[in-house]
Amino acid sequence: MRLLAEEMVSRFVGHDVPRIIYRWSCPNCGLSSSSHRLVLGLPCERCIKDEELRELMGMQAIGDHDKIYRFLHERGRVRENVDQDLGYREIVRVEEELSEFSEMFRRSVGRDPWSIQKMWARRVIMGSSFALMAPTGVGKTTFGVVMAIYMALKKGWRSLIVVPTIPLVNQVLRRAQEYIDRLSLGGVVSVVAYHSRLSQNDRRSIIDRLSRGDFSIFVTTSAFFRNQDHVNIVSGKINFFFIDDVDAILKGGKILYSLLEVMRIDRETIEKAEEIVNLKARLVFRESSEDIERINALKRDIRRATRSDIVIVISTATGRARGRRIKILREIFGFEVGTRHDVIRNVIDTYRIVSSREKMISEAVEIIKKIGGGGIIYVPRDLGIDYAEKIAEALSKSTGLRVAPLTSRSVKIIDMLASREIDVVVGVSTYYGVAVRGIDLPEVIRYAIFLEAPRHRVTLDMSEIGLSDIPRILELALDVVEEEKKDEVLAVLNKILRVIRRSSPTYLKEAFERVRRGEISSWAEKAIKEGLNMVGSLLSTPGFIDKLERNPFIKVERAGMKIYVYIPDWATYIQASGRTSRLYVGGISRGLSVILETDERLLKGLERRLRLISEDIALRRLDTIDLDQTMREIDRDRENIRRAREGRVFEIVGVPLKELTKTVLVVVESPNKARTIASFFGRPSVKEIGEIRVYEASLGNITLLITASGGHAYDLAVDDIDNNIYIGRDSLHGVIIDNGSYIPIYTTIKRCMKCGYQFTNDSIGEPLRCPICGSQEIRDSRSTLRALRRVAIEVDEIYIATDPDTEGEKIAFDIFVSLLPYNNRIKRIEFHEVTRRAFIEALSRPRDMDINRVKAQLVRRIEDRWIGFLLSQKVTDHVKEEKDIDLRYRLSAGRVQTPVLGWVVTSTREHRKKKYMVIRLTSDNNEPLYQLEIPIADPGLKRVTEPGSRIVVRAVVGDAGEERLNPLPPYTTDAFLVDVSQYMRIPAPKAMAIAQDLFEMGLITYHRTDSTRISDVGLEIAKRYLTEAGKAELIFLRRWGEEGAHEGIRPTRPMDLRMLERMIAEGVIDIRLSRDHMRVYDMIFRRFIASQSRPARVRMCEVVFELSDDKGVIYISKPYREICGVIDPGFMEFYNHPFKVISRDSLNRSWDIEVTGELFRGDRLYTPGDLVRRMKQEGIGRPSTYAKIVDIILRRYIYKGFFKRTGYLVSNKYGRMVYDFLSKEYEGLINIERTRKLEEKMDLVEKGSIDYREVISDLYQELKGYNLNMSGGGKREGG
């Protein structure tokens, strides 16, 4: 009988949602609920019976938490929060209090709070501390003041508001008093302020009120906490802390510890937090399970010691809160303050090449005259402040504007620029300079003009070289030294950069001076000395400087006896040009950057590096843009920023009001992917909620919360612990069979933290135990789902961004139904590469769940479970009983696994037969050259020479002309696994794990694909790489397929292995890769670039082999065509694995070989790559399953020692027993044709062409025809 909930889903959702039971998912009782109930946002059938749903519909309660709660409350069915999960009581409380806060905000401020302010309010209401980073104009302080008033009225809490300056103290005091008056709370809520400019009597009066607790809100600066008496007075009296001056607090350690004392955080807790910081720093260098256990224990202690009635909100204006003290805050309160990142920019980057500096200045004058004030002019660091002053004077005279030089000695100029007393400033483009890092005037700065690109000037005089010059020279050397020297240079570069990154400037200066004096003792000093020696060796190498001069991306200048190298300074350019573009409540303001450059090489070098850093940055010629239109857009944004600062957000132009400050939770599978996406937006704020980390970043009009589910949260159950669901029904291994319906039961996945075993066994009333080792240290995905639900109620919308395939869709659907009762605005987004461009594009294209994909994955999982469980149990029992073997584990079988195992078993047996004479020919230095395989049954083989005899093999080589070779297409999953197995000896499971890492780190596109198609973005990457590598003549772009969603596997940037190593060494790309990761990336990169390169021209030879023994000729082979020379390498310059070149001279000879038994064998054994290739050819398995199948066979059914030595697969006795039994008893279930047809059916389900329930029903009926235990738990009786 169709349940009413199922009918309601069709009505409200509009499509057929498969019925699935999810354990521990009911938002009320916490037990099992159906997907239909969850999609409707309703509790389970225990809490609201099916016949009661019509009453709910009449109340229009679907999706209304308050009405559902009232319905449950009236019937006495509301549960309290269980296991820290959110129930309706808590959800409704939060919504009611948010409504009260919003009403107070409306009456105080005159408008509704923005979405982001509502998100902050929900967090405070739920007692959560957090860091607050938001764009200009969003109203951070306004929120803090209104929340302080609300908490005073609602909970009787006292609040502390800390701001940076005394004027701000007075401003906040006036605003708070104004709001209190508007709310008519003058006798209920009181506000006091303290600062050094108050009279002595006023200060005494306020101290007296503070000591008596006669205040609701206390406003002050951080200076208040320098006095220990002040700290003692307010200690323990305050519950809500709004810190709007975290930068000043973190600069002085005493102030931080004083504030912690006010919060009643004891010294022991602080010391534990400090110990965690130290242990985490140590873990960077070495893994230690003891350290990890200690960290977890300390965290538990801190949680127990921290007061639950304390909420701390930290806001940072500069976004530069860093260092050890911020980490201590993180460990105590579970969040980390983020830092602003200037790659979040909306800058039009332009350039113009000029013939001289005189021409450059005149060009700058003309541009400034046209676009007016509000600009920063940058001059190179090596020309210095004197040059900046001369430029300022010249521009002031020529433009008629007020132009002034900006130096660290004249920072008052910034205030004059802000007040429009000055129109333009001129500064030096140095990374930490005041003109680059010291200006933050988003409503004033419209453009930046660089009089020559930012650059480093490096001397090549060993007596003058500084510490920072060493890594720069080593980086340059990587472009010009011989290939065999590059690894040595890179190793030294890594060491020196490690020293620089981990040491303070003072220590580095002293260490370098000691090295210069020859006083070397520490590891750092040895590394510096090694770097100096390497630089000296390079500079003294004949031709080294000449090669530098030929580098198209740098400039070498000879000045008398001195030689200088000019290197583009990309980091300073990003920072400096970023002054023109800032986040604000309407988005990211537009800015203009103009580079006037005399040397095109520096411009090319700058652009090359910028494009590697960010795919969004592209330099355009200034004359290709509409300058007037650009400045109108820039000025519109400046006016919007001014309106935002004045609170007139409703007047912002160009952005729909509903889009302002929208909050979105993005859920991906892996923490790596979440971290990579978060890094696109700088170093975001981080909040730890349970076992998940939530990153928070702003795009101006959108605030993103990014977190990870950890992969699958649910899998099919293996027990019937939720007994009432099964009453009166049959079940089979996690699926209920009810009158022809098949209802899968999904439960949360558990992982043993001791042995790593993953399982779905459940327990009620007793602690979970690992079925393998018995440990109670279990991580249950229930805790992840609880945490996700808490975040879900904070935000406006949720986007689930799991992998773009059927498995990713099922993960997304499970999260979707789990979160719908808490937030019903959930969409799916997908992207095929983890890049900023792809992610931003995906945000603009949210879609509904692809239910057909979900159904296809359901079929696949149920098929795998039923066939796998049933056959595995059968074969295990058979081996135990028939063979009398004491097994330590259950043998496994499966619909794809067993046919693949059969290939290994068959090839093992056939290999032992004497079918072929195999002759391996080697070169003069004993390197493998050629393998000749002669079938014993070949009619041309006159006789088989007996072992112990000798034969002579003679090769006759003839010319076969020229041939044009085309490259292979980019990798698909199967081709990738074949190559990585064959050429790198990396097993398929490890290869897929490496590829997953590379994908999540944003280095390659999605690696589970059958497509070879390359997008326009991919074509541009190949074109850019070949052009910048000086190989533009090789460009031969190919699409390799029709339009579609998927692409072949390719790199996401024009960055080869050497450049990747450099970017990691320099810290530009913040990832850690193993040697195997590097090798795999290199292989993917080379194959892709080869696929976009011109064909090769080769010289072909025809080779005939003649075998003779002492009785004469025994065999003459057919002619073989081989490549014996390369005329034009073309694509083979990058990738030539399948195209072996054998020189004519090495073949045109004879070999004397002793005949042994090793020369004879049967069919060739399989490698893991061969299995993948055949799975693809036979049409069984999918890109997402190839590696899993191979992994099971490698772990259970082969001789591991033989595989490690040779790379070939030989089945062990268990493999033979499993396959022999199953192929005899259940051949109909495991044959290739049946498996292929099943895959085809699942494809049809995914396309919506057939009903998934029919496929499951057909399988069930088929299984019933075999001698299998179909009870799977059997029918349950009631009572």
Specify whether the CB–CB gap between 117 and 793 falls below 8 A.
no
> Helix-strand-coil percent breakdown of the chain, rounded to 5?
45, 20, 35
Cα distances (angstroms) measured from residue 702 to each of 162, 456, 661, 794, 1177: 27, 37, 5, 14, 47
SS3 1076: helix
Instruction: Provide the 8-state DSSP code for 670.
Output: -
DSSP per-residue string spanning 1097-1157: EEEEEEEEEEEEETTEEEEEPPPEEEEEEEEE-GGGGT--TT--B--HHHHSSEEEEE--G
Q: Please, are residues 449 and 476 in contact by the beta-carbon 8 Å criterion?
A: no
Size of the chain, expressed as the number of residues it contains: 1279
Question: Using only C-alpha atoms, what is the Rg of the chain?
Answer: 35
Q: Return the ∠ at Cα 788 (arms to 787 and 791), rounded to 5°.
A: 90
β-pair partners for 962: 1099
Contact call for residues 1042 and 1013 (beta carbons, < 8 A): yes
Angle between helices 1186-1196 and 988-1000 (to 10 degrees): 140
Per DSSP (E only), the strands in 526-619 are 555-559, 562-568, 583-584, 587-588, 591-597
How crowded is the C-beta side of 573, counted as CA atoms within 13 Å?
Answer: 35
Q: Do residues 1142 and 1102 lie in contact, with contact meaning Cβ atoms separated by under 8 Å? A: no
b/e map of 332-367 (b: 16 or more CB within 10 Å)? bbbbbbbbbbbbbbbbbbbbbebeeeeebbebbbeb
Helix (H) or strand (E) holding 1120: strand 1120-1128
Is 1166 tagged catalytic? no
CA–CA distances in Å: residue 986 to residues 237, 993, 1007, 1074, 1174: 62, 11, 16, 13, 18
Tokens for 220? 């002050």
751: tokens are: 């992982």
**What is the side-by-side order of every strand in the sheet holding 555-559?**
455-459, 562-568, 555-559
Q: Would you state the structure tokens that stand for residue 91, as one six-digit string?
A: 């959800």
Extended beta strands in 430-544, E state: 447-451, 455-459
Distance of CA 832 to the CA centre of its chain: 12
What is the three-class DSSP state of 689?
A: strand
CB 590 within 8 A of CB 637: yes
Phi first, then psi: what are they for 1073, rounded to 5°? -125, 140
CB 1039 within 8 Å of CB 992: no
Q: How far apart are CA 113 and CA 111, in angstroms?
A: 6
- For 1024, residues 6+ apart whose C-beta sits below 8 A from its C-beta are 611, 1054
The token duo for 241 is 């802390």
Distance CA 646, CA 649 (A): 8
CA–CA gap between residue 456 and residue 208 (Å, rounded): 58
DSSP β-bridge partners for residue 747: 715
The catalytically annotated residue of 1006, 1135, 1197, 1252 is 1006
Q: Are 375 and 450 in contact (CB under 8 A)?
A: no
| CA dist., res. 160 & res. 919, Å (int) | 85
C-alpha span between 1029 and 552 (Å, rounded): 10
Tell me which residue of 389, 609, 397 sits closest to 1053, measured CA to CA.
Answer: 609
Catalytic residues: 1006
